[in-house]
Structure 1
Amino acid sequence: MTRLATCACGSIRVTCASEPTKVSVCHCLDCQKRTGSSFGVAAFFDRDTVRIEGPTKSFSRQSDSGFPVTFHFCPDCGSTVFWKPQRKPGAVAVAVGSFADPDFPAPTQTVYSERRHSWLDMCD
């Protein structure tokens, strides 16, 4: 199955020619700030099955594991569409919301649950 993720304005197109290896909900404070929401949801794909088109700007930050993560976002609309964790050089993480697909596979794990907002009840 091929899946297409885009930014809000459509300038960035990420075509994933496989199923995700993992779908993860992250409750860390950095993901909360990055998304402007209470959590982030990422689908991880093997890098060699992902094609990225369009201009991006990037922002890198250290992760708790000590490895940097580089986030790529649209220079026009600001949507963060994908990121590359240096800890997993063979992977690309794609923001699940960028697929705009309510039938996208459900998360299989949560991380940083201790920072989860108390009113959330998912993936327990």
Structure 2
Amino acid sequence: MTQSFSGGCACGSIRYVCIGNPIAMLNCHCRDCQQSSGAPFASGVVVRVDETEVSGSPGTYSVRGSRGGSTTRSFCTQCGTPLFTRGELVPELMSIRFASLDDQAGFRPMVDIWTSSAQPWVQLSGDIPHYPQSPQHE
């Protein structure tokens, strides 16, 4: 994925542009991502918050993360499209949901996280690292 990419919700009420290079591209298998995505895992692009401009007003829902901090998920209140995830413990970063990208062709997962919660029938790629939980942010 190249520098500067964009996306938004299905109905067009929420749009975003990110001007920075992605920090990571990942698949998260935690139960919260399963529920919020309606799928066995959620794929996302991790970026810096200050390199992302959002137009529109997404709704939010917060849950307590495994390390005690709050995790906030953003979505379109009109069409329900999942958009962003931000964690209280690393507030300068956010994950942009794969499904909201305008151009999905450049997405290449680099890591699978929370594989301890992965569904037993999901085939994990042997080409990327797997973590039973989330790796520590340094």
TM > 0.5 fold call: yes
CA RMSD of aligned residues (A): 1.3
Residue 15 of structure 2 corresponds to which residue in structure 1? 13
Matched AA of 1:49? E
The whole-number CA distance in structure 2 between the counterparts of 1:113 and 1:21 is 20
State how many pairs are aligned. Answer: 124
Q: Are 1:92 and 2:101 counterparts?
A: no
Residue 56 of structure 1 corresponds to which residue in structure 2? 58
Higher percent of residues as strand = 1
Give the alignment's TM-score, normalised by structure 2: 0.84
The whole-number CA distance in structure 2 between the counterparts of 1:92 and 1:21 is 10
**Which of the numbers 114, 117, 120 marks the counterpart of 1:115?**
117
Identity of aligned residues (%): 26
Q: Which runs of 4+ in 1 moved over 6 A?
A: none
Would you say the 8 A contact 2:98–2:104 is kept in 1? no
Matched AA of 1:70? T
Alpha-carbon offset, residue 123 of structure 1: 3.2
Instruction: Give the SS at the match of 2:100.
Output: helix
Q: Which runs of 5+ in 1 are unaligned?
A: none
Q: Are 1:35 and 2:37 counterparts?
A: yes
Give the alignment's TM-score, normalised by structure 1: 0.92
Would you say the 8 A contact 1:23–1:107 is kept in 2? yes
Alpha-carbon offset, residue 100 of structure 1: 4.2
Q: Which runs of 5+ in 2 are unaligned?
A: 127-138
**Which of the numbers 23, 26, 49 marks the counterpart of 1:24?**
26
Matched AA of 1:118? P
The whole-number CA distance in structure 1 between the counterparts of 2:10 and 2:107 is 21
Map 1:73-84 → 2, pairs under 5 A: 73-84=75-86
Matched AA of 1:117? Q
Higher mean Cα deviation, 94-103 or 31-40? 94-103
Alpha-carbon offset, residue 122 of structure 1: 3.1
